[in-house]
């Protein structure tokens, strides 16, 4: 079969409906390994889409998601019909991940990537005490809160939105720095930063008030400091049906539908 996306790799989450869809699509369209594919079709929910994007983020391979999971904000509608035509007509969205570099209480360094957000959370019943620097300059000497996060435009409608963070258009060169249940300063609602910013979160009194750092689903506990920045050298290509692009969905979220 000729065409831009002649070789299709199908990958699926562990849910029964995703596995069933995977079997039917492979029987209908054939399939190959992701390493040999022109395009990867991910079957599942948003969590599986994030997993697939992370697994392929250094390959440059486009990923087309079809919803066979719980939440499908990052997915296209599932339909077995005319898949090759849908892939040919699909519109690309390019996103870049965040890289989190965390140092724990034992002095060990940890590096993880995130597509949605990097969050810094309290580990116990006590609020975290955090110092925030942007590009090496102190911007908040002390934040007492459940935590703080840095979110990408793609992640701005996920956890960031649930804690009252701003929605960012997908192509805007911005990051959201958003507090999680802030206690002091009580009126601080966060900041919008250029996507070239280097954010450092230092933990004040980590022995008494331990803190964990999470890059999407990768967690590091008992951290002393967390450095967060966007890695523009890595580009991930997501494909969406015309009229249902990620920027259109994010725009709709701003109007509540």
Domain coordinates in residue numbering, the chain: 8-96+234-254, 98-230
In a structure prediction context, what are the per-residue pLDDT tens digits for the chain, which is 257 residues long? 446 898 999 999 999 999 999 999 999 999 999 999 999 999 999 999 999 999 999 999 999 999 998 878 889 999 999 999 999 999 999 999 999 999 999 999 999 999 999 999 999 999 999 999 999 999 999 999 999 999 999 999 899 999 999 999 988 999 999 999 999 998 899 999 999 999 999 999 999 999 999 999 899 999 999 999 999 999 999 999 998 778 787 888 878 75
Residue 82 tokens read as 């005319």
CATH number, domain 8-96+234-254, options 3.40.50.10330, 2.60.40.10, 1.10.630.10, 3.40.50.10860: 3.40.50.10330
CATH number, domain 98-230, options 3.30.410.10, 3.30.1300.10, 1.10.1370.30, 2.60.200.30: 2.60.200.30
pTM value is 0.89
Q: Respond yes or no on whether the N-terminal peptide bond of residue 65 is cis (omega within 30° of 0).
A: no
Q: Pick from 72, 204, 214: which is nearest to 150 by CA?
A: 214
Residue 73 tokens read as 């904000």
Query: Which of the residues 38, 46, 205, 231 is marked catalytic?
Result: 46
Q: Is 46 a catalytic residue?
A: yes
Please give the Cα distance from 106 to 104 (Å, whole number): 5
How does DSSP classify residue 186? T
Please give the Cα distance from 257 to 251 (Å, whole number): 9
Let me know: does 213 contact 219? Beta carbons within 8 Å. yes
């Amino acid at each position: 079969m000729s065409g831009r996306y002649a070789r299709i790799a199908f990958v699926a989450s562990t849910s029964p409906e995703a596995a069933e869809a995977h079997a039917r699509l492979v029987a209908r369209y054939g399939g190959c390994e992701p390493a040999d594919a022109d395009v990867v079709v991910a079957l599942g929910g948003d969590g599986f889409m994030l997993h697939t994007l992370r697994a392929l983020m250094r390959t440059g391979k486009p990923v087309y998601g079809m919803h066979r999971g719980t939440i499908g904000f990052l997915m296209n509608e599932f339909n077995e019909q005319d898949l090759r035509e849908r892939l040919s007509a699909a519109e690309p969205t390019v996103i870049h991940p965040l890289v989190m570099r965390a140092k724990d209480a034992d002095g060990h360094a940890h590096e993880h990537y995130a597509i949605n957000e990097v969050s810094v959370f309290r580990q116990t019943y006590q609020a975290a005490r955090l110092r925030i620097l942007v590009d090496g300059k102190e911007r908040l000497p002390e934040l007492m809160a459940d935590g703080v996060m840095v979110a990408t435009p793609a992640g701005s409608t996920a956890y960031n939105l649930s804690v009252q963070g701003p929605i960012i258009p997908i192509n805007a060169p911005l990051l959201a720095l958003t507090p999680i249940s802030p206690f002091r300063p009580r009126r601080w609602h966060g900041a919008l930063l250029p996507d070239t910013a280097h954010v450092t979160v230092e933990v004040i009194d980590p022995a008494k008030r331990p803190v964990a750092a999470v890059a999407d689903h990768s967690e590091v506990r008992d951290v002393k400091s967390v450095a967060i920045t966007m890695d523009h050298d890595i580009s991930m290509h997501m494909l969406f049906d015309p009229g249902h692009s990620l920027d259109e969905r994010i725009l709709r979220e701003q109007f509540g539908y």
